[in-house]
Amino acid sequence: MDLLFLAGSDFVNVKLVGKKIYFKKIVNGVPTLQDISKIKLPIEGILSKFPDLKGKEDSEIKRIGSERLKEHIANLNTIEERKLYVIKELESIGCKLISIVKQGHRPIIISKNLVRKRDGLN
Protein backbone atom coordinates (compact mmCIF):
# COMPACT_ATOMS: atom_id res chain seq x y z
CA MET A 1 0.00 0.00 0.00
CA ASP A 2 1.30 3.46 -0.89
CA LEU A 3 0.36 6.67 0.92
CA LEU A 4 1.11 9.99 -0.76
CA PHE A 5 1.41 13.11 1.38
CA LEU A 6 2.14 16.75 0.70
CA ALA A 7 4.68 18.25 3.12
CA GLY A 8 5.01 21.94 2.34
CA SER A 9 5.85 21.89 -1.36
CA ASP A 10 7.34 18.38 -1.35
CA PHE A 11 5.67 15.04 -1.87
CA VAL A 12 6.28 12.27 0.66
CA ASN A 13 5.54 8.74 -0.53
CA VAL A 14 5.23 6.06 2.15
CA LYS A 15 5.11 2.38 1.21
CA LEU A 16 3.69 -0.19 3.64
CA VAL A 17 5.06 -3.68 2.99
CA GLY A 18 3.96 -6.27 5.49
CA LYS A 19 5.12 -5.06 8.91
CA LYS A 20 7.66 -2.61 7.49
CA ILE A 21 7.39 0.98 6.38
CA TYR A 22 9.54 2.53 3.67
CA PHE A 23 9.86 6.04 2.28
CA LYS A 24 10.32 6.41 -1.45
CA LYS A 25 13.12 8.74 -2.40
CA ILE A 26 14.52 9.73 -5.77
CA VAL A 27 18.28 9.08 -5.94
CA ASN A 28 19.99 10.07 -9.21
CA GLY A 29 16.62 9.98 -10.96
CA VAL A 30 15.83 6.47 -9.73
CA PRO A 31 13.10 5.85 -7.14
CA THR A 32 14.48 3.88 -4.19
CA LEU A 33 12.98 2.66 -0.94
CA GLN A 34 14.56 3.95 2.25
CA ASP A 35 14.08 2.07 5.49
CA ILE A 36 12.39 4.07 8.22
CA SER A 37 15.68 4.10 10.16
CA LYS A 38 17.15 6.33 7.42
CA ILE A 39 14.75 9.22 8.06
CA LYS A 40 15.89 12.07 10.24
CA LEU A 41 13.75 11.95 13.35
CA PRO A 42 13.95 15.12 15.46
CA ILE A 43 15.46 14.59 18.93
CA GLU A 44 12.59 16.56 20.52
CA GLY A 45 10.02 14.27 18.89
CA ILE A 46 11.82 11.12 20.03
CA LEU A 47 12.12 12.43 23.59
CA SER A 48 8.43 13.36 23.67
CA LYS A 49 7.55 9.74 22.84
CA PHE A 50 10.36 8.14 24.90
CA PRO A 51 11.28 10.43 27.84
CA ASP A 52 13.45 7.69 29.37
CA LEU A 53 16.10 8.47 26.70
CA LYS A 54 16.72 11.97 28.06
CA GLY A 55 20.38 12.49 28.99
CA LYS A 56 21.79 10.09 26.39
CA GLU A 57 23.89 11.24 23.43
CA ASP A 58 21.96 12.41 20.35
CA SER A 59 23.21 9.54 18.19
CA GLU A 60 22.09 7.03 20.83
CA ILE A 61 18.68 8.71 21.15
CA LYS A 62 18.18 8.52 17.37
CA ARG A 63 19.28 4.89 17.19
CA ILE A 64 17.08 3.71 20.06
CA GLY A 65 14.15 5.88 18.93
CA SER A 66 14.32 4.39 15.44
CA GLU A 67 14.47 0.83 16.84
CA ARG A 68 11.49 1.45 19.11
CA LEU A 69 9.51 2.97 16.26
CA LYS A 70 10.18 -0.11 14.11
CA GLU A 71 9.13 -2.38 16.99
CA HIS A 72 5.95 -0.38 17.56
CA ILE A 73 5.03 -0.57 13.87
CA ALA A 74 5.77 -4.31 13.74
CA ASN A 75 3.54 -4.87 16.78
CA LEU A 76 0.52 -3.30 15.09
CA ASN A 77 -1.73 -6.18 14.06
CA THR A 78 -2.95 -5.23 10.59
CA ILE A 79 -1.89 -3.16 7.61
CA GLU A 80 -4.94 -0.98 8.28
CA GLU A 81 -3.63 -0.19 11.78
CA ARG A 82 -0.21 0.63 10.34
CA LYS A 83 -1.82 2.85 7.68
CA LEU A 84 -3.84 4.77 10.28
CA TYR A 85 -0.77 5.14 12.51
CA VAL A 86 1.34 6.61 9.68
CA ILE A 87 -1.45 8.97 8.61
CA LYS A 88 -1.97 10.18 12.18
CA GLU A 89 1.74 10.73 12.83
CA LEU A 90 2.47 12.51 9.54
CA GLU A 91 -0.64 14.69 9.78
CA SER A 92 0.42 15.66 13.31
CA ILE A 93 3.57 17.26 11.85
CA GLY A 94 1.67 19.10 9.12
CA CYS A 95 1.68 16.65 6.20
CA LYS A 96 -1.54 16.38 4.19
CA LEU A 97 -2.71 13.00 2.87
CA ILE A 98 -3.35 13.16 -0.88
CA SER A 99 -3.94 9.56 -1.94
CA ILE A 100 -3.94 5.92 -0.91
CA VAL A 101 -3.05 3.16 -3.38
CA LYS A 102 -3.66 -0.46 -2.48
CA GLN A 103 -1.89 -3.15 -4.53
CA GLY A 104 -3.95 -3.96 -7.61
CA HIS A 105 -6.48 -1.17 -7.01
CA ARG A 106 -6.99 2.31 -8.39
CA PRO A 107 -5.78 5.19 -6.22
CA ILE A 108 -8.16 6.68 -3.70
CA ILE A 109 -7.73 10.43 -4.09
CA ILE A 110 -8.20 12.18 -0.76
CA SER A 111 -7.62 15.77 -1.84
CA LYS A 112 -7.19 16.99 -5.40
CA ASN A 113 -7.22 20.58 -4.14
CA LEU A 114 -3.89 20.18 -2.32
CA VAL A 115 -2.10 19.12 -5.49
CA ARG A 116 -3.81 21.83 -7.55
CA LYS A 117 -2.85 24.55 -5.04
CA ARG A 118 0.75 23.29 -4.86
CA ASP A 119 1.06 23.36 -8.66
CA GLY A 120 -0.69 26.74 -8.98
CA LEU A 121 -3.81 25.27 -10.61
CA ASN A 122 -7.42 26.09 -9.74
Q: Does the residue 95 lie in any domain?
A: yes
> Is residue 46 situated within a structural domain?
no
111, part of any domain:
yes
Q: Classify residue 18 as left (phi > 0), alpha (psi -120 to 50) or beta.
A: left
The confidence score (pLDDT) of residue 71 equals 87
User: Which of helix, strand or coil describes residue 24?
Assistant: strand
The reply to whether 42 falls in a domain is no
Instruction: Share the mean pLDDT of the chain.
Output: 82
Q: Which residues of 81-111 are buried (b: 16+ CB within 10 A; e: fewer)?
A: ebbeebbeebeeeebbbbbbbeeeeeeeebe
Distance CA 91, CA 12 (A): 12
Query: pLDDT-derived band of residue 120, with 50, 70 and 90 as boundaries?
Result: very low
Q: Give dist(CA 73, CA 75) in Å, integer.
A: 5
Predicted pLDDT at 116: 47
Cα 9–16–119 angle (5° rounding)?
20
Q: Please report whether residue 55 resides in a domain.
A: no
Predicted confidence at residue 52, as pLDDT, reads: 92
Residue 100 located in a structural domain: yes
Q: Is the pTM of this model over 0.75?
A: no
Residue 122 lies in domain:
1-19+80-122
Domain contains 93: yes
CB 16 within 8 A of CB 84: no
Report how many domains make up the chain: 1
pLDDT at 2: 92
Whether 90 maps to a domain, the answer reads: yes
